[in-house]
Amino acid sequence: MDFLVRTNIDNEQQGRIWGLMDPISSFGYIIAYAASGLLADFVFGPLLLEGGLLAESLGTIFGIGSGRGTGLLISVSRIFLSLTALLLLASKSLRKLES
């Protein structure tokens, strides 16, 4: 993002852009931290407890019991992050920004 802003935005406008980007990215962190705690405790955690919906399938990989849902959450987030990176890599509009 740093490279794209520095090469595509006029020098006179960059301060305004950086001033806007920082709060937006910080707000994303707040949402992510709050959502991850709730998802770990109330969605992914119960799925990998004994008798949970995924205990017999993914439980063989992650194990079952307390804290295993957090491992599943981290793995799912890594998969989504990888897919996002592949989609951004294939994006023609982002490639146009580089040239």
Structural domains of the chain, count: 1
pLDDT reported for residue 4: 76
Nearest-angstrom CA–CA distance, 38 and 34: 7
Residue 92: the pLDDT is: 86
Structure tokens at 29: 């962190």
Contact 5, 20 (CB under 8 A): no
Q: What is the pLDDT of residues 30-53, one digit of tens each?
A: 999 999 999 999 999 999 999 999
Low-confidence ranges of the chain (pLDDT < 50): none
Query: For the chain, how long is the longest CA-to-CA vector?
Result: 60
Domain span including residue 82: 2-98
Answer for the pair 55, 48: CB distance below 8 angstroms, yes or no. yes
